[in-house]
């Protein structure tokens, strides 16, 4: 009797469903995996990051916690130090300051300070991003903050497919992983997403290794390096620019730590022109890091560079001001035209 081949089932998932599918799978496979955070059980996560997990796994493994980030993120670190595999959610990344000591002095440094004898195999998830007028304390992106401090891997998906593969990898990783998801990509009802993040997602588990940037659009004239929401904004700009004969390559970093410099440098070898787009602050951040890396390695081939990021001001509330400071499609288009002129 012929063995039945597994059928690739065509189905599109939102980014949140894809994340939850990976978490559910890992929780089924490994009793040491559990999820804790504020409003993650009954509510299913304010950004649908845990929708449906309580029903399957119960309160012992999907834990609502009191509002006490220092205590519960630190507790996740402690459980991980004992070999469990917690996933702990910080509701908005902006709240990191409440618990930063546990994050960067304990979670991130334990492996090093213990001479490698104690691992912290946990995932810290957090929602990032603005574009919906929630002002300075609920709209930050802060990729650079976490990537700057040593000891944490930092992961940022832009599509459902990537979200699932990166989550499987994050939970299985023996180092602490910071997994940052952009609210507007999650596919939640009250915050319309752009078209891009809802993609076909295989039902079976699969792993996307960290440090593997994805060339999401091939092009010959200019390299746009970005991540998260701005992958989709870069696509939109690339479509318009294509009408004028400018062929844009879009690289989605997918992880900041580790950073896939090879894919970036290869692309610069082809295009010679670089635009880096980031929803985080301009100075001392992702854009500077990418430009510095390219300058060190490929200075001779570099014809022009532009950076597009939040211009070092907190995120303002009123729409005209938020639109001004958060990079939009027009900003990306203008930067590409500038490096191509």
For position 132 contacting other proteins by CB under 8 A, the verdict is yes
Pick the closest to residue 196 from 210, 213, 182 (CA basis).
182
Cβ closest to other proteins, residue 91 vs residue 248: 91
Q: Is residue 274 reached through a cis peptide bond, with omega within 30 degrees of 0 on the bond before it?
A: no
> How many whole angstroms from its chain centre is CA 209?
14
- Show the tokens assigned to 24: 């559910």
| Smallest distance from other proteins to CB 12, Å | 20
- Region near other proteins per CB under 8 A, out of 19-27, 33-41, 156-164, 212-220: 33-41
Determine whether 138 is an active site residue.
Answer: yes
- Region near other proteins per CB under 8 A, out of 16-24, 190-198, 221-229, 329-337: 190-198
Cβ closest to other proteins, residue 95 vs residue 210: 95
Cβ closest to other proteins, residue 102 vs residue 169: 102
CA–CA–CA angle 323, 158, 263 (5° rounding): 110
For position 192 contacting other proteins by CB under 8 A, the verdict is yes
Q: Which long-range contacts (CB under 8 A, 24 or more apart) does 292-301 make?
A: 293/259, 293/261, 293/264, 293/265, 294/264, 294/265, 294/268, 297/261, 297/265, 298/265, 298/268, 298/269, 301/268, 301/269, 301/272
Cβ closest to other proteins, residue 191 vs residue 304: 191
Please, which of residues 56-115 interact with other proteins by CB under 8 A?
A: 64, 66-68, 70-71, 94-95, 97-98
Which ranges constitute the DSSP H helices of the chain?
A: 15-29, 53-57, 69-81, 100, 110-113, 143-148, 160-172, 229-243, 261-271, 286-298, 319-325, 329-340
Pairing of β 85-92 and β 153-155 = unpaired
Site string for other proteins, 270-299 (x = CB under 8 A): -------------x----------------
Cβ closest to other proteins, residue 115 vs residue 320: 320
Dump strand ranges (E) for 39-143. Answer: 62-64, 85-92, 123-128
For position 55 contacting other proteins by CB under 8 A, the verdict is no
Q: Which of 12, 30, 31, 43 binds other proteins (CB under 8 A)?
A: 43
The crossing angle, in degrees rounded to 10, of helices 15-29 and 160-172 is: 30
Class of residue 240 by CB neighbours under 10 A (exposed 0-12, middle 13-18, buried 19+): middle
- Region near other proteins per CB under 8 A, out of 9-17, 39-47, 209-217, 290-298: 39-47
- Show the tokens assigned to 295: 């300058």
| Smallest distance from other proteins to CB 199, Å | 22
Task: Give the total of residues touching other proteins (CB under 8 A).
Answer: 43
For position 11 contacting other proteins by CB under 8 A, the verdict is no
For position 269 contacting other proteins by CB under 8 A, the verdict is no
Catalytic residue among 25, 138, 168, 230, which?
Answer: 138
For position 190 contacting other proteins by CB under 8 A, the verdict is yes
Q: In Å, what is the CA distance from 307 to each residue of 44, 182, 260, 278, 331?
A: 37, 20, 19, 8, 10
Cα distance between residue 338 and residue 341, in whole Å: 5
| Smallest distance from other proteins to CB 333, Å | 17
| Smallest distance from other proteins to CB 282, Å | 8
The crossing angle, in degrees rounded to 10, of helices 329-340 and 229-243 is: 50
| Smallest distance from other proteins to CB 114, Å | 25
- Show the tokens assigned to 296: 């060190």
Please, which of residues 297-326 interact with other proteins by CB under 8 A?
A: 311-314, 316-325
Q: Which of 24, 61, 134, 328 binds other proteins (CB under 8 A)?
A: 134
Instruction: Say which DSSP state 316 is in.
Output: P
Binding site for other proteins (CB under 8 A): 38-39, 41-43, 46, 64, 66-68, 70-71, 94-95, 97-98, 131-138, 189-192, 283, 311-314, 316-325
Q: What is the set of active-site residues?
A: 138
């Amino acid at each position: 009797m012929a063995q039945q081949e597994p059928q690739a089932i065509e189905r599109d998932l939102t980014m949140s469903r894809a994340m939850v599918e990976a978490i559910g799978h890992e929780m089924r496979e490994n009793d040491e995996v559990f999820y804790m955070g504020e409003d993650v059980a009954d509510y299913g996560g304010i950004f649908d990051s845990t929708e449906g997990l309580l029903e399957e796994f119960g309160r012992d493994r999907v834990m609502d916690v009191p509002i006490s980030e220092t205590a519960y993120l630190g507790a996740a670190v402690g459980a991980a130090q004992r070999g469990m595999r917690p996933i702990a959610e910080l509701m908005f990344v902006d709240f990191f300051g409440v618990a930063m000591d546990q994050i960067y002095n304990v979670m991130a440094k334990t492996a090093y300070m213990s001479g490698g004898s104690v691992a912290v195999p946990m995932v810290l998830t957090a929602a990032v991003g603005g574009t919906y007028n929630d002002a300075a304390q609920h709209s930050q992106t802060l990729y650079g903050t976490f990537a700057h401090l040593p000891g944490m891997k930092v992961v940022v998906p832009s599509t459902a497919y990537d979200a699932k593969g990166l989550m499987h990898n994050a939970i299985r990783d023996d180092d602490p992983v910071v997994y940052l998801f952009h609210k507007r990509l999650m596919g939640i009802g009250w915050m319309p997403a752009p078209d891009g993040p809802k993609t076909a997602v295989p039902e079976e588990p699969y792993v996307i290794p960290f440090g593997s940037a994805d060339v999401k659009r091939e092009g010959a004239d200019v390299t746009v390096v970005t991540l998260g929401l701005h992958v989709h904004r870069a696509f939109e700009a690339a479509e318009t620019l294509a009408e004028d004969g400018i062929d844009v390559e879009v690289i989605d970093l997918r992880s900041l730590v580790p950073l896939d410099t090879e894919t970036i440098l290869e692309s610069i070898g082809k295009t010679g022109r670089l635009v880096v787009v980031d929803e985080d602050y301009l100075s001392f951040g992702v854009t500077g890091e990418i430009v510095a890396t390219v300058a060190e390695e490929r200075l001779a081939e570099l014809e022009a560079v532009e950076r597009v990021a939040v211009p070092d001001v907190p995120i303002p509330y009123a729409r005209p001001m938020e639109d001004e400071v958060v990079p939009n499609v027009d900003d990306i288009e203008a930067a590409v035209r500038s490096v191509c002129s």
